Amino acid sequence: FKKAFKYTLRPQGQDIIRTWLYYSLLRVYQLTGKPAFKWVRITGMGLDEKGEAMHKSKGNVIDPEPYIDKYGADAFRYWAAAAAKLGYDYRFSEQVIRTGYLFATKLWNIARFISMFPQPSKEPELRPIDKATIAYLNHVLKEIDEAYSELDVYEPINKIYQFTWNYFASHYIELVKSRAYNRDNKFSPEEQEAAWYTLHYVLNRILRALAPIMPFVTDAIYRRLYGKTVHLEKFPDPDPEWLKEDYSLALVVQEINSAIWSYKKKHNIKFKEPLKTKVYLPLEAEKSLKELVELHKLENIEFYDEKSISELENKLRINNVFFDEQ
């Protein structure tokens, strides 16, 4: 029995549940009194780009080699995970493979930026946006960990992508870039070190969480930055203490950034140019005012709360930000 059924997991398609799976389980149990497998991971049918089931007789079976040669193995694995929602058919998509390639490139560029700064040996006094970012990440890690435990790779790859690209790279890094460099000494050494710590904290855990799906780029980055292979590291379990922390500031800042960038683009103002228009920000954003002013070059700011928001009805509103019309 141990020689014939030495694996605890059987991956298969849903088309052979009633035949191969049923009879294998039934026959083995009747003969040995033991289950053939502990886990069965069931996927749907593989579909071509038109949504038709792939069959050799149809001539629509996709050869992965040209796509792996063009985009890399990690990009192909990204597609396999992003398309592999448990129990559902998975459609081939070169566009999703290309997204995986771009994501690997984004990770490399993030790591190249962070590699310019030392990794603090201990946690310094963090700024509010640093705390919110770390708390946000730990909530994402909790969801990823739960999904992996259910043999699900669809949720982890999508949650890692969304957090890394849509928040960490696009908002947090942009917000703390000036603090990390601190070329004009507008931030204290402690505030600068807090940015370094948070950048490394987040990237390190993203790489470890992503390694099962995109093993090559994560290992290459991890070796360069941290001097060892990511594949012998412990999975980044969510920190219970950080799970208690509120991360709403991260989402508030994300909306503010998007709103101000949208306003500047609409009014042909370069992103690095000062914004002379008066802006009204939610009161919670005051915790990250220093970074927001530095990033967006804000010159005229007022805060509002739930009581005073009604007074801004005649202002231009984008997301959670109000603007005086020019």
Helix (H, G, I), strand (E, B) or coil at 50: coil
Tokens for 171, please give them.
């908002």
Q: Which residue spans of the chain are classified as CATH 1.10.730.10?
A: 101-246
pLDDT, position 6:
81
User: What CA–CA distance (Å, rounded) separates 83 from 260?
Assistant: 34
pLDDT tens, residue by residue, 46-86: 888 888 888 888 888 989 999 999 999 999 999 999 998 88
pLDDT tens, residue by residue, 11-28: 888 888 888 899 989 999
Helix (H, G, I), strand (E, B) or coil at 141: helix
pLDDT, position 47:
86
Amino acid at 159: K
pLDDT, position 43:
84
CATH superfamily, domain 101-246, is Isoleucyl-tRNA Synthetase; Domain 1 (1.10.730.10)
pLDDT, position 286:
96
User: What CA–CA distance (Å, rounded) separates 171 from 253?
Assistant: 8
DSSP 275: B
